[in-house]
A and B are shown apart, each in its own frame.
Chain A
Amino acid sequence: MITLINIELYKIFKKWRTYIGFLVIAVIVPVINFAMLAEGEKSLDFMTRNLQQSFVFVGNLLNGYLVSYFILISLAVHIPFLITLVAGDLLAGEATAGTYRILITRPVSRMNIISSKFIAGFIYTAFLVLWLAIMSLGIGMIIFGVGELIVVKSSGIIIFARNDVFWRFLGAYGFAILSMTVVTALAFLFSSLVENAIGPIISTMAIIIVFLIVSALQINFFRKIEPYLFTTYMSSWRLFFDDPVDYAALYKSIAILAGHIALFFGATVLIFKRKDILT
């Protein structure tokens, strides 16, 4: 199985499109950091202007943690696109390249083939999120240093002590890996249905965009269906930045996302096992 995963990873990292995601993050994160260097104080003043009317405060609130938090919010919606580029190609790519039949004729079960591909896709997803974590926290800390993290919500302001922040980021990035794996699983499912990677990429993104729009619209009808959309739970990484952390809501989100992964992967296995390979 490990050999199969290694082969799949080799195939993934042999393609240049795999590096698009890493490249995008390597470019956008420093750009955001430099933008924050120029305009961050203004943003912070805007966020705390009401607080400043009543309180005097000192300390380094514009720091690497705050910038990383901004980046995580900004990119959480866009990272799925980078993931589908690879995950949508995992099975459909074999069809496009005409290697399906060769692959299936090897003395390996279809279950093992599909599992190894999915695990390789998961590893790529995890690497991409880890790359985002390293880039945002690393560059943010180098440029701005560390400090307390201010999180502004409509219900109030939370300022986390500097020694109470890092574990929250670890949790948030861990959760991001899980939520992005749902995207991987969905693109993987679509990838098993077609013979060209463009279809799974566009279909996955279309679903995510539609779900996000439905979630964003403040219409009662959409509010009712919102709990049934997996995208609703993808932003639950923010629960790590609450005090106290609502673990019940967090576990619920984890369970729902894990359930979606199992569902999408299960459906992919069923489809792939029954699939008549003609290419």
Chain B
Amino acid sequence: MKKIILFLIIPVVCFAQSNKSDEILNLVKENFNKIKDYQVNVHIKVDVNFIKVPEGDATIYFKQPDKIKLKSEGFAMLPKEGINFSPLNFLTGDYTSIFDKEENVDDNPCYLIKVIPLGDKSDLILTNLWVDKKQYIIRKIESTTKSNGTFIIELNYDKDIKYPLPSSMVFSFNVQKMEIPVGVMGDADEINKTEEEPRRKSKATSGKVYVNYSDYKINIGLPDNIFEKEEK
């Protein structure tokens, strides 16, 4: 008898969990879909031990559903997964979601939702989304990918926001330290290298990218040609 009861209860509980998470995610999507396009200035600081890059400024252009462009007068770089924090990125294709628990992120009460893509097309394996309980905005994303390891995106927002767009972001990631082809440059590390200093081997390393957003221009009707690839 107990087995029968359990057999009946477990799917009901799971369905309820899934149903709740879908409701939350639908509200997040709905909230984000208020944005048709936007343009924002960003200040980027990259902190990765094997890449030294000067802090830079750039402009990000976004248009629904997935057009994105990074433009800069100087040099600017952003992690591929960090350039566009749209929740739709993590909620495309077939997926299943589970409501895990409620948890605070920087004193903001949030729902923790686990999103698992179905099939093997997606590069994502598992994504945890911390969704703000009051505003249905994403406060934190932790995602594990097949190709680029695990990354965490922490998003901060201004107090009174009309659109779910952050004022700053911290993108943390773990990557395998790259084997860098020195090619025609030769290897400057060979200079003054002593016998005791063996070549540094490839190993996992972590990094952070800090992005500050300013001067949002939202729903201004960005033309499609902004997103076209520029001829070099």
Contact assessment for B180 and A161 in the assembled complex, using a CB-CB cutoff below 8 Å = no
Give chain B's interface residues, CB within 8 Å of chain A: 49-54, 56, 58, 70-72, 74-80, 83, 147-148, 173, 175, 178-189, 191-192, 194-195, 199-200, 232
Contact assessment for B189 and A153 in the assembled complex, using a CB-CB cutoff below 8 Å = yes
Contact assessment for B180 and A73 in the assembled complex, using a CB-CB cutoff below 8 Å = no
Contact assessment for A159 and B184 in the assembled complex, using a CB-CB cutoff below 8 Å = no
Please give me the residue from chain A that is nearest to B77 by CB atom. A57
A210 at the interface (CB under 8 A from B): no
Contact assessment for A157 and B52 in the assembled complex, using a CB-CB cutoff below 8 Å = yes
Complex interface: chain B residues within 8 A of A151 (CB)? 185, 188
Q: Known contacts A73-B184, A73-B185, A148-B54; is A159 also within 8 Å of B49 by CB?
A: no
Contact assessment for A152 and B185 in the assembled complex, using a CB-CB cutoff below 8 Å = yes
**Shortest distance from the beta carbon of B66 to any chain A beta carbon, whole Å:** 14
Q: Known contacts A161-B74, A224-B195; is A156 also within 8 Å of B50 by CB?
A: yes
Q: Known contacts A55-B79, A58-B76, A69-B185; is A156 also within 8 Å of B191 by CB?
A: no
Contact assessment for A58 and B58 in the assembled complex, using a CB-CB cutoff below 8 Å = yes
Contact assessment for B182 and A50 in the assembled complex, using a CB-CB cutoff below 8 Å = no
**Cross-interface CB contact of A238 among B79, B147, B181, B188, cutoff 8 Å:** B188
Complex interface: chain B residues within 8 A of A148 (CB)? 54, 74-75
A239 at the interface (CB under 8 A from B): yes
Tell which of A59, A148, A236 has the most Cβ of chain B within 10 Å.
A59
Name the interface residues of A142-169: CB closer than 8 Å to any CB of B. 147-148, 151-162, 164
Q: Report the separation of the CA atoms of residues A239 and B79 in the bound assembly, to the nearest whole angstrom.
A: 29
Instruction: Report how many residues on chain A are interfacial, defined by Cβ distance under 8 Å.
Output: 51
**Shortest distance from the beta carbon of A47 to any chain B beta carbon, whole Å:** 6
Give chain A's interface residues, CB within 8 Å of chain B: 41, 43, 46-47, 49-51, 53-61, 69-70, 73-74, 147-148, 151-162, 164, 220, 223-224, 227, 232, 235-236, 238-239, 241-243, 246, 249, 252-253
**Shortest distance from the beta carbon of A18 to any chain B beta carbon, whole Å:** 30
Q: Report the separation of the CA atoms of residues A160 and B51 in the bound assembly, to the nearest whole angstrom.
A: 11
**Shortest distance from the beta carbon of B113 to any chain A beta carbon, whole Å:** 26
Contact assessment for A154 and B185 in the assembled complex, using a CB-CB cutoff below 8 Å = no
**Cross-interface CB contact of A152 among B70, B182, B194, B195, cutoff 8 Å:** B182
Contact assessment for B182 and A43 in the assembled complex, using a CB-CB cutoff below 8 Å = no
Contact assessment for B192 and A155 in the assembled complex, using a CB-CB cutoff below 8 Å = no
Q: Report the separation of the CA atoms of residues A23 and B198 in the bound assembly, to the nearest whole angstrom.
A: 42
Contact assessment for A156 and B49 in the assembled complex, using a CB-CB cutoff below 8 Å = yes
Q: Report the separation of the CA atoms of residues A54 and B80 in the bound assembly, to the nearest whole angstrom.
A: 6
**Cross-interface CB contact of B50 among A58, A155, A239, A242, cutoff 8 Å:** A155
Tell which of A157, A162, A227, A246 has the most Cβ of chain B within 10 Å.
A157
Complex interface: chain B residues within 8 A of A161 (CB)? 54, 74-75
Contact assessment for A46 and B183 in the assembled complex, using a CB-CB cutoff below 8 Å = yes
Q: Known contacts A41-B232, A58-B58; is A154 also within 8 Å of B76 by CB?
A: no
**Shortest distance from the beta carbon of A55 to any chain B beta carbon, whole Å:** 5
Q: Report the separation of the CA atoms of residues A59 and B199 in the bound assembly, to the nearest whole angstrom.
A: 31
Contact assessment for A58 and B71 in the assembled complex, using a CB-CB cutoff below 8 Å = yes
Q: Known contacts A56-B77, A223-B195; is A47 also within 8 Å of B178 by CB?
A: no
Q: Known contacts A54-B148, A152-B183; is A238 also within 8 Å of B191 by CB?
A: yes
Tell which of B52, B77, B179, B188 has the most Cβ of chain A within 10 Å.
B188
Complex interface: chain A residues within 8 A of B50 (CB)? 155-157
Q: Report the separation of the CA atoms of residues A236 and B187 in the bound assembly, to the nearest whole angstrom.
A: 12
**Shortest distance from the beta carbon of B232 to any chain A beta carbon, whole Å:** 6
**Cross-interface CB contact of A50 among B52, B83, B180, cutoff 8 Å:** B180
10 cross-chain pairs, A with B, having the tightest CB-CB distances, nearest first: A59-B75, A156-B50, A57-B77, A161-B54, A50-B178, A148-B75, A238-B188, A158-B52, A159-B53, A55-B77
Q: Report the separation of the CA atoms of residues A154 and B194 in the bound assembly, to the nearest whole angstrom.
A: 15
